[in-house]
Each structure stands twice: as structure tokens, then as C-alpha cells.
Structure 1
Amino acid sequence: MHRNEELHSFLLNKAKVLTEQWYESLDKQNSTGVYASTNPEVIQTLKRQNYDFHLHLCKIFVEEETKFFHDFQNWILSIAQDEQHLNTPIHFIIREFFTVREQYIQFIHEFVTTHELYKNNEITWNNMIIKAFDKVVLRFVEEHQKVSEQKLKAQQEMIQELSSPVIALDNNRALLPLVGDIDTGRAKFMLEHTLEQCSKLGINHLFIDLSGVVIIDTMVADQIFQLIKALTLIGVKCSLSGIRPEIAQTTVNLGLSFNNVSIKPTLAGALAFNR
């Protein structure tokens, strides 16, 4: 048997041992996320993921390099997308990659110690393992970053939707209550989202309440003005309420005209006036 194939068989037979030794070596007290879990199902999945890793990694000694990394990609993606690993700080995950790498180096040393004929191959095999781990870790970090960014984007979009809700009332009327700081990004989303929701819900009168907004810069004030203009073009009447003196000053300085908009000091007043 070829010496690389002998080492492959040796490590493959040690796969379960590698997994159990690795899990026992985990510093569960000083870890968070998947490594600190006491849930039996999570622990079982973690061990299976580690065992599958060994089944893939052992092939570095018997497969062509391009095929080896191509076949490894599915495992990398599965870990990068795994919810338990996404909730684990990435430095803990990388630390465990390094821990497993040391396991391999130790087992390779054990193999050459019991096979004197292959002693001169130890450095070559160690270098193969180090190179494989370097590439796998790099690819994992790349995929983990992609998934994290996608998750963050989805969360931001949800936050934006919640921060600019179009709430249906009655008689095709709806309320857009604005609270907190409004930056240009939120203002742009508000314009697009509000138009879409009003059209979708068949709204013909929208109450925009600004009582929860303390400061609006010139660009955001202009965006609100553009929103009202766009809503008018699709047949939606607008009413404004809760405009603070600072916001009123900003609109005056911009020369924005709200002549065709019903403006009341309070939301209750706006609703009562436009029944």
C-alpha cells in the first residue's frame, strides 16, 4: 500500500477517537455558543460535524488537491450557515480549528513513530495538514462573513420596516408614526416603503405623526416633503401632526410648502378633524 494511503487509513480509523478527544478537551467553562451548550441534541450535532470534518480532511493524503477542496466546500458552507456556529464568536471557532490541527500533527507523529520507514515523511505530511487547515479556515471565514452580512442586512431591513410602519386604521385611512432619529438612509426607505404599503393596502388618507421625532435635518425634511408629493400623485391625501418648532423652522428655511396638507398639533386632533 502507498504510504499516503496507509496514513489515510490510519487517520480514518482514528476519526471517532479524534472527535471524542477533541470534545473532551473543549474549555466549556470559558467558551460561549455551540461549545458551551449542554443541550444533548446540539452536542450530538457538534460531534457529528467534527467527525464529518475528519472524513473530509483525511482525503488530503489520497485525493488531488483541487478535488479535495472542492468536495470540502459543502462542509464549510454547512458550518458557516449553521445557526449554532453563527451564534458563536468566530475567534472560538478558529481556536478549535487550531486545536484539531494539533491533533493531526500528534497523530501523524504517532504514525511515523510506529512506522520507521515513513519517518522522513513526517515534515511533508505536517506541511500538507497545515496547508489544508489554512485554506479551510480561510474559506470558512469568507463564507461566515457572507452569511453574517446577509443576516445583518435582513435584521436591518426588519428594523427599518418596524421603524416606519404603515398602520391601517379604518375607511382606507392609515397612520405612519415616526419615532426617534431619522437619517437619510431611514428616510429613503420610508419613502419607498410607505408608497408601496399605501398602494398595497388601498389607503386614500395617511396620517404622518412626527411627535416622536426630535431632530430632522434638511435632507430628511426634504424627503418627507417628497413623500407627501409622491403620495399625492397616487391619490393619497396626507395629514401632518406633532411638528416641533425646530422641525417647522427647518421646513421654512428650505422653502418647503405644505399648503395642501392638513396640519394639526396632535395626532388626536388630526384624526378627529379628518373623520
Structure 2
Amino acid sequence: MHRNIELYEFLVENSWQITEQWYQQLDDLDESSVYSTQDTVTINSLKEKNQEFVMQLHKIFNTEEKSFFEKFEEWTVNLAKDQKHLDTDVHYVVREFYRTQDIYLSYIQTFYKQNQDKLEIDQFFTWSNIVRKVFNLSVYIYIDEANKNTLKQIAAQKEMINELSSPVILLQNNVALLPLIGDIDTARAKLILENTLAQSAKLGISNLCIDLSGVAIIDTMVAHEIFNLIKALKLLGVSSTLSGIRPEIAQTAIQLGLDFEEVHTAASLAQALEKITKG
């Protein structure tokens, strides 16, 4: 049996001492870590969160195990979503979980020694094991939330990069430019198609110059996506002009049997814009 009201009351009585001892042991020199802060408000917030965690942890000793873990898991998920901790490298946060665990177990050990005459050693091991179980769960939940946060940030960054990598730049008289730069794979080509159509409709352009001078290689699928883009733009009432086509890209297009007969082309961006403005 892990429950013990005397132990529970002992830990509650020493709660703030546990938190203060944890904070006094902090020695973090990495400025990216939330634990290195010198800001009083942030320091107090760290102590309060540690204290909240400790107070939740105490409940294992006066609550049925299944009921405790159900409520504790829900509470810990919310705690793990704290943005300041999510912005701190995972290994720093995990380190502090286990630092707190060591301190917490030392208080259980103290209680055991004070009551050794009426407690069995197995009781101490039972308490230690269930505390480790709680901390392992906490670490797992935090790492899981940190991973979700990282994936979310990567997705947002990727979306931003994709938007920036296919910007429709409005010039004048409803004329716009789509400068394509770097390697274009099939996935990026599809995003370019989607973003370009959306931006063209939003900007209300009538002529779009698609400049390929910054693209070195185009494969079969990408070439087809570019032609699909031109066809889709035509349906929106947007006239397209391809400029800056490299010789190797032109050769690839010919080998693929792509029909340039209805596609406006120009050797350079300057020539393309000149053609468009002259109508």
C-alpha cells in the first residue's frame, strides 16, 4: 500500500522547502534556458510551477493510484504546454524534472528515517518506486508535448518558406512577377501552383511573368506542373509569360514533348516585362 496520511502531511508541510531547495541548486549558464533567467517575475513563476507540481505529486500518498494517475496526467498535459518551457531545450527541462525527483525522494527518505521504528524498508521502496513512476510519466508527457510543438513550428516554418519561395509580386497595371529560385521538386511545384493561383486571384492581376532564370533543373513532373499552372491561370483570365528558360530546361521540355505553341516566352525577365507592358 503506497498511501500514508502522515507522509502526505509531512510532504505538504515541507512543500516550499522542497521548491526552494530545487531552485537553490539551479546552476544554468545557458541564456536560451528559462532556468538561467535573472528576472524576478520569471523566477517566481518557475517556483510557483514547481510548487504546483510538487503539490499535485503529494496527492499520490492520499489517493487511490488509478484515480491519481488519471487526474495527474490531465493536469501534467496542461503544465507541459507552458510556452516558456517549450521554448527551452528539452534536456534542460528533463534535467530539472530529475533534479526535483532526487530532492523529493530525499524528503521521503528523511520521513522514513524519522519513523523507522514503525515502518518496514519495503514501504520506503514502494514509495520511491511510485514517485519514480510519476516522474517518468511527467517526463514522457513533457517530451511528447515538446515534440508536438516542434512539429508545429516546423510545419509553420515550412509553410512560410513555401509562401516566400513562390511570391507573386505586383508590379503595375495589373502586371505581376513570379520569380522561381532554387530546386523545385514535385511537392514544391504543387505548392507553387496553389499559392500562385490564390495570390493571382487575390491581387486581381491580368498578366503574370514566371521567371525561371534562378532554376537550374526541372524534371518531368515539375515541367508538367508549370504547364498546369499556365493553363489554370488562363482559366482565371491571367495571361502568362515564361522568361529566363535555361537551355537545359528547354531541352528537357522538348524531350518531354511539351507544347510551347500557346505559351508566351521571353529570353529574359526584362524582355518579358517589355512585351507585357507593350501589350
Q: TM-score, normalised by structure 2?
A: 0.90
Name the amino acid aligned to 1:215. Answer: I
After TM superposition, the structure 1 = structure 2 runs for residues 118-129 of structure 1, keeping only pairs within 5 Å, are 118-120=119-121, 121-129=123-131
Residue number among 244, 262, 265 corresponding to 1:263 in the alignment = 265
**Pair 1:191-2:193 in alignment:** yes
Name the amino acid aligned to 1:268. Answer: A
The 10-residue stretch of structure 1 (72-81 or 196-205) with the greater mean CA deviation from structure 2:
72-81
What is the aligned partner in structure 2 of residue 92 from structure 1?
92
Contact 1:215 1:246 (8 Å CA) reproduced: yes
What is the aligned partner in structure 2 of residue 224 from structure 1?
226
Residues matched between the structures, number: 274
What is the aligned partner in structure 2 of residue 203 from structure 1?
205
Name the amino acid aligned to 2:250. Answer: A
Q: Identify unmatched segments of 5+ residues in structure 1.
A: none
**Pair 1:83-2:83 in alignment:** yes
Contact 1:53 1:75 (8 Å CA) reproduced: no
Contact 1:241 1:265 (8 Å CA) reproduced: yes
Taking a change above 3 Å as real, the CA distance of residues 156 and 66 of structure 1, as seen in their structure-2 partners, is: farther
Residue aligned with 2:265, SS: strand
The 10-residue stretch of structure 1 (189-198 or 169-178) with the greater mean CA deviation from structure 2:
169-178
What is the aligned partner in structure 2 of residue 39 from structure 1?
39
What is the aligned partner in structure 1 of residue 55 from structure 2?
55
Cα distance in 2, alignment partners of residues 122 and 225 from structure 1:
73
What is the aligned partner in structure 2 of residue 17 from structure 1?
17
Contact 2:169 2:177 (8 Å CA) reproduced: yes
1:218 shift after superposition: 2.2
Residue aligned with 2:213, SS: strand
Cα distance in 2, alignment partners of residues 133 and 224 from structure 1:
54
1:54 shift after superposition: 0.7
Cα distance in 1, alignment partners of residues 182 and 170 from structure 2:
21
Cα distance in 2, alignment partners of residues 179 and 205 from structure 1:
20
1:245 shift after superposition: 1.3
Residue number among 149, 152, 157 corresponding to 1:150 in the alignment = 152
Cα distance in 2, alignment partners of residues 41 and 160 from structure 1:
38
Contact 2:3 2:63 (8 Å CA) reproduced: no
Q: Deviations over 1:115-141 (max 9, x none)?
A: 232344211111110111122222222
What is the aligned partner in structure 1 of residue 27 from structure 2?
27
Contact 1:113 1:119 (8 Å CA) reproduced: no
Cα distance in 2, alignment partners of residues 78 and 138 from structure 1:
13
Q: Deviations over 1:98-122 (max 9, x none)?
A: 1111112111000111123234421
Cα distance in 2, alignment partners of residues 102 and 177 from structure 1:
58
Name the amino acid aligned to 2:270. Answer: A
Residue aligned with 2:260, SS: coil
What is the aligned partner in structure 2 of residue 253 from structure 1?
255
Cα distance in 2, alignment partners of residues 234 and 91 from structure 1:
52
1:39 shift after superposition: 3.2
1:153 shift after superposition: 0.8
